[in-house]
Each structure stands twice: as C-alpha cells, then as structure tokens.
Chains A and B, each alone.
Chain A
Amino acid sequence: DGGITQSPKYLFRKEGQNVTLSCEQNLNHDAMYWYRQDPGQGLRLIYYSQIVNDFQKGDIAEGYSVSREKKESFPLTVTSAQKNPTAFYLCASSPGQKNQPQHFGDGTRLSIL
C-alpha cells in the first residue's frame, strides 16, 4: 500500500547529540514536510521541500537540518543546537498541485535522556 513511513517510532537523545529521523514515501509526491507538535498544541512547520535537492525553512527551523537527495526520502536531523527537542515529529507529503491535502506518517516521539 502507498503511504509514508517514519522511523523510529520512539527516539531518545542524549545531551549534545545529533539524531536523525527518517521519512520515506512511496506516493510519488513532489512535496514533503516536517512538523513539530508539542503537547496540547497544533503543528508547526520546521522545513519543507518542493523538489529534489531543494528545501526551505519553515517557521521553526533553528536547530534542525534536512536533506532531499531522493524524491521519496526527507530525513530530519535534530542537532545539539535544538535546546528543547522533546516533541512529537510528523512528516507529510503532498502532490504538486497546490490544493491537494497533505498525507501524514505515524510520527516519531523524541525525548531527552
């Protein structure tokens, strides 16, 4: 079945450590996105990518980095510069048309050790 796969489901980070969250889609979508969700709050956009080898900062990009080397993959690295990384991270993708809904993965829950 087509969909978006995020891994791992749970991730723990030590102080000063970089961690990478995986996001893969087999929907042949052009655009991909990363969101952060804090408890009891809505989603905030971290980064997005409209085509391979191109990406833009969202509203809260500081302390995060991404790459888009393949159409189906959009990994997110949470760097040590992100001082409050504990959150639920959701990856999404959408077709090229601007009016199409975004489809979401199951999320990765990141916690600090």
Chain B
Amino acid sequence: AQKVTQAQTEISVVEKEDVTLDCVYETRDTTYYLFWYKQPPSGELVFLIRRNSFDEQNEISGRYSWNFQKSTSSFNFTITASQVVDSAVYFCALSEAIGAAGNKLTFGGGTRVLVKP
C-alpha cells in the first residue's frame, strides 16, 4: 500500500524566514507522480507542483523550490522569504494509476504553516 508521511504537523515562522516542509513516501510502483497542494483557510486545495519519478531535477519557481530525492523517497518543499499569505496547510500527495482515466492520490497528514508578521 502507498503511504505519505509529513512528520511536521505545524511550523511557525516570522515573515521573511525560509520554511522547509518534509515529505517521505512509500510505494512499490516504479513510475509514480508526486504533488504538493496548498489549502488556505478558505478550504479549497490549490495545486502547486507535480513531479514524476524519473525526473529528479529540482526546480525553483519564484519563492518556491522543491527537492526530490528518489534514493531517500523524499519530496521536500521550501518557501523562501515567507510571507503572511503563505499561511496555510500544505499537503504532499502520491499518485497511483487506477485504470482507464485519472489517478488515485494518497495524501499525507498535512503541515500547517503559520507566518507571523
């Protein structure tokens, strides 16, 4: 069975500090996809990034960066120079193919990020 673990339940930082969110996953699939979603207080989940298992190139997009290491089954996410608007719950998810269309996501428990002014 697939499993995603986000060991940090809550992180509190002061604005402009960097924040790194950890994600460790377990899967027997050789091809899989990993996602990060953001859930602001309003409740909807916002897609941030997707990574496939055969592309370990790390990426930076604005203040966000991701570190995918297949050898340690980790897919960590960093917010640089955090802002109050970054306050949200962040979820890591692992994708499993389910047949004709779509995918099945296994979510981690989420990490609540609180950015104080």
Contact = CB atoms under 8 A, between A and B. Distances in A.
12 contacts: A41-B109, A43-B91, A48-B104, A51-B100, A94-B102, A94-B103, A98-B33, A98-B97, A98-B102, A105-B44, A106-B42, A106-B44
Given A30-B100, A45-B105, A101-B35, 14 more contacts: A30-B101, A33-B105, A42-B91, A50-B100, A90-B44, A90-B45, A92-B45, A96-B100, A98-B97, A98-B103, A102-B47, A104-B44, A105-B44, A107-B43
The 8 tightest CB contacts between A and B, nearest first, are A31-B102, A42-B107, A96-B101, A104-B45, A30-B101, A50-B101, A101-B47, A107-B43
A17 B4 CA distance: 35
Contacts of B52: 99
Interface of A: 30-31, 33, 40-45, 48, 50-51, 56, 58, 88, 90, 92, 94-107, 109
A48 B104 CA distance: 8
Interface residues of B, number: 28
Contacts of B35: 101
B50 A41 contact: no
Contacts of B46: 104
B60 interface: no
A51 B102 CA distance: 10
B106 to A, nearest CB: 8
A11 B44 CA distance: 17
A106 B43 contact: yes
Contacts of A40: 9, 109-110
B35 to A, nearest CB: 6
Contact of A50 (B4, B9, B102, B105): B102
Contacts of A109: 43
Nearest to A101: B47
